[in-house]
Amino acid sequence: ITILGIESSCDDTSASVLRDGVIYSNITANQDVHMDYGGVVPELASRAHQQNIIPVVHQAMLKAGVTADEIDAVAFTRGPGLMGSLMVGTSFAKGFALSKNIPLIEVNHLQAHILAHFIDDLNSKYDHPGFPFLALLVSGGNSQIIVVKDHLEMEVIGETIDDAAGEAFDKCAKVMGLPYPGGPIIDRNAKLGNPLAFEFSRPRIQGLNYSFSGLKTSFLYFVRDRIKENPNFIEENMNDLCASLQYTIVDVLMNKVKKAAKETGIKQVAIAGGVSANSGLQNALKEAADKFRWKVFIPQLGYSLDNAAMIAITGYFKYLKNEFIEQDAAPFARMTIK
Ligand code: ATP
Ligand code: FE
């Protein structure tokens, strides 16, 4: 079975070819047009997707060594994401499926971030989690703790009531004058700083939910006050600021994961989504694994940020269950894990 996966939910245009459960190619075009705006500009994103989609799909098929006629089904991100961006991938997928008379598979982008843990590619076979496992999904738009009971059966047991963890990284980066997306830059700077240099107020939220908007505000006010005393405060303390901020976000994330593991008794923990690339989070997860005897799973970098391989593997699991959709499918800006 050969599946073409298409991802276009935000600012990455990506295509991937999967054959019999193995990823043969995963090609992504990033958009640098948003750098100067401190965030993704929806109109620019959809225009760039339109320019990129055909070359990206072409490259993915070329690299995989398959022709369009060899593809058995097309899986695409139906949501959640930016409407204009989703529209490009959805329209392409529908057109491709129609012209080749092959089935169409809708994919929930969030579910796909988690199922990235089931990817094997031509270079490696990875260790996959067994069921059930806990997933911490931390991305630009979501922060959720999920019990994964089967490939396509997931239950959200905790989630953010306001900002996502990635948003907290990006918004605080903006406060420090760093370009978008700031998460990876904070991660890099944090390695050179002292995580205990500054203290920021932590959310007090009951249960397994998160809240990050207070932290963002507290960071903003803290920096603003210090700048009044010393206009060069940010430049002089960049690494310590990044390290302390990252330490706080990671600690908040991990505390609820520990609570979830304790409450559910589940000892396999996977992280997923863009923020799972964060080195502080990865280290904290490994520490917890030693301490609590968890088995932990960290995605390969190419499969943690937005990519079509995760869409293709999700499409594969749905293909095996005959979960197809019709040509009248429209994208959803909002879509949750059921
Ligand atoms: P969603 O998946 O919820 O729709 P998204 O697709 O925009 O959102 P991803 O592409 O999964 O999100 O992740 C992007 C986010 O990950 C950004 O907020 C970015 O700053 C963050 N990120 C990426 N690498 C790192 C890192 N090393 N440290 C911290 N944050 C990071
Ligand atoms: Fe994503």
Per-residue pLDDT of the chain (338 residues), as tens digits, is 999 999 999 999 999 999 999 999 999 998 887 777 778 889 999 999 999 999 999 999 999 999 999 999 999 999 999 999 999 999 999 999 999 999 999 999 999 999 999 999 998 888 999 999 999 999 999 999 999 999 999 999 999 999 999 999 999 999 999 998 999 999 999 999 999 999 998 988 999 999 999 999 999 999 999 999 999 999 999 999 999 999 999 999 999 999 999 999 999 999 999 999 999 999 999 999 999 999 999 998 889 999 999 999 999 999 999 999 999 999 999 999 97
Assess contact for 312 and 93: CB atoms under 8 A.
Answer: no
* Closest atom, ligand 1, to C-alpha of 110: 2
For ligand 1, atom 11, name the residue with the nearest CA: 274
d(CA 277, CA 55): 27
Does ipTM surpass 0.85 in this model? yes
Which DSSP symbol is given to 177?
T
Number of helices and strands in the chain (H, E): 10, 11
Q: How far apart are CA 292 and CA 261, in angstroms?
A: 9
Atom of ligand 1 nearest to the CA of 170: 20
User: How does strand 153-159 pair with strand 143-150?
Assistant: antiparallel
Strands 120-121 and 133-138: unpaired
Q: Would you list which residues are annotated within the binding site?
A: 109, 113, 137-141, 170, 183, 187, 278, 306
- Near ion ligand 2, which residues have CB within 5 Å? 139, 306
| Selection from 91, 132, 98 nearest residue 8 by Cα | 91
Residue 280 to residue 11: CA distance in whole angstroms: 25
In this prediction, residue 219 carries a pLDDT of 97
Rounded to 5°, angle at Cα 161 from 114 and 117: 5
Residues in the chain: 338
- Residue 279's pLDDT is 98
The pLDDT value given to residue 33: 76
Cβ count near 326 (within 10 Å): 9
Note the pTM of the prediction, 2 decimals: 0.95
Ligand 1 atom index nearest CA of 188:
27
Distance 187 CA to ligand 1 centre (A): 12
Alpha helices (H) in the chain, listed in sequence order? 42-64, 83-100, 109-115, 165-175, 183-190, 213-229, 233-264, 279-292, 301-304, 309-320
Distance 17 CA to ligand 1 centre (A): 23
The values of phi and psi at residue 160, to 5°, are -75, 145
d(C-alpha 138, C-alpha 284), whole Å:
14
283 C-alpha to center of ligand 1: Å?
A: 18
Beta bridge partners of 3: 18, 73
Report the distance separating Cα 46 and Cα 63, nearest Å: 25
Task: Give distance in angstroms: CA of 139 to centre of ligand 1.
Answer: 4
**Planar angle of CA 19, 24, 28, nearest 5 degrees:** 125
- Write the residue with the smallest CA distance to atom 23 of ligand 1: 274
Distance CA 189, CA 177 (A): 13
